[in-house]
Amino acid sequence: MAGCGSAVPIAGDYRAVGSITPAKSQFTATYPHDFPIHGIDVSKYQGDIDWDSVRRGGIEFAYIKATEGADRVDPKFNQNWQSAKAAGLKRGAYHFAYWCRQPEEEMANFLRTVPNDPDALPPVLDVEATPTSGTCKKTLYREQTIAQMRAMLQMMERAYGKRPVIYSTVDFYESILQPNELADYPIWVRSTKYSPHVRYGQRKWHFWQFQSDAKIPGIRGNVDRNAFHGDQRQWMAFAGGQETGSAMGYAPRNDVAAATIPGAVAQPQPANLVPPNRMPGAPSVLPPIDPDE
């Protein structure tokens, strides 16, 4: 996501600022310009953003970093959250998972930070290996990681009433999610060098992060660019939380059990919910990073 991991640029720039058609592309079979709805994801690393210029540049949605782990809040979140909506963009918030804290602690941080806005896009859980972390080097065992993710996803869904989206890098997908783990949640894939099917096979995706060095009006420097898997009608169905006409079968669910999260303010939690399992620690070895995304 914005400011996370190494950047692997696509070949060529856009013909015009705000265009969705690359001048050159190494993608095959599936191209970013096959999809009319494009957006960005941002964090503090984009600095002060002129959101009106972003909107005029052809961007329709933005995912904004809110939190990381149990105690970090992106210092630009509130400013971006309010200004993006004022400019007319659909926007959602994402949480960067920190594997050395409990799910309840991480989600308490997210719920304290992100308002429960019915007009917002579904929240995102950003899951990546973090080999450069100075404080959280551990093995991400498949079964344990899936359980930890499911706990956080359930808490997000219960709090905001929308099925969350999973953001995954290639290496994380290959190590943990391949081929169909947590397939009942929409997935946002990163693939800046190949079409999604090359790295993610037949896994159905909702969002595709296809460029890490996009130049967008209103943003100084580079920003990630993303495409939504669907047309305008499908986008409106997804963004509005409607099941009918949805691109990939998105629908909020009402049967999700999640733990009450101390300190959360997004909305009250029912008293009869079943707490998710807590995750044990693991040794300090990480799965290898695939540099060829």
Domain 32-239 has CATH 3.20.20.80: yes
pLDDT band at 132 (very low <50, low <70, confident <90, very high): confident
> Domain locations in the chain?
32-239
CA distance linking residue 78 with residue 254, whole number of Å? 28
Q: Is the pLDDT of residue 253 over 70?
A: no
**What is the rounded average pLDDT of the residues 254-261?**
47
**What is the rounded average pLDDT of the residues 6-31?**
50
Q: Residue 22: its pLDDT value, please?
A: 52
CA distance linking residue 193 with residue 206, whole number of Å? 18
pLDDT band at 134 (very low <50, low <70, confident <90, very high): confident
Q: Residue 290: its pLDDT value, please?
A: 36
Q: Residue 242: its pLDDT value, please?
A: 61
Length of the chain: 293
Q: Residue 24: its pLDDT value, please?
A: 53
- Please answer whether residues 196 and 168 qualify as being in contact, where contact means their C-beta atoms are separated by less than 8 angstroms: no
Of residues 278 and 129, the one with the higher pLDDT is 129
pLDDT in tens, 158-205: 999 999 999 999 999 999 999 999 999 999 999 999 999 999 999 999
60 in active site: no
Q: Is the pLDDT of residue 250 over 80?
A: no
Q: What mean pLDDT value characterizes the chain?
A: 81
- Please answer whether residues 189 and 168 qualify as being in contact, where contact means their C-beta atoms are separated by less than 8 angstroms: yes
- Please answer whether residues 269 and 159 qualify as being in contact, where contact means their C-beta atoms are separated by less than 8 angstroms: yes
Of residues 240 and 86, the one with the higher pLDDT is 86
Q: Residue 153: its pLDDT value, please?
A: 98
Q: Residue 25: its pLDDT value, please?
A: 67
Catalytic residue among 128, 157, 181, 293: 128
**What is the rounded average pLDDT of the residues 261-268?**
43
DSSP tag of 73: E
Q: Residue 9: its pLDDT value, please?
A: 29
**What is the rounded average pLDDT of the residues 53-81?**
97
- Examine residue 36 and say whether the peptide bond preceding it is cis (omega within 30 degrees of 0): no
- DSSP string across 145-191: HHHHHHHHHHHHHHHHSS--EEEE-HHHIIIIITTTTTTTS-EEEE-
**What is the rounded average pLDDT of the residues 45-60?**
97
Provide φ and ψ at 200, rounded to 5°. Answer: -115, 5
Q: Residue 280: its pLDDT value, please?
A: 36
Of residues 119 and 277, the one with the higher pLDDT is 119
Question: Is 109 strand, coil or helix?
Answer: helix
Q: Is the pLDDT of residue 274 over 50?
A: no
- The encoded tokens of residue 76 equal 């630009």
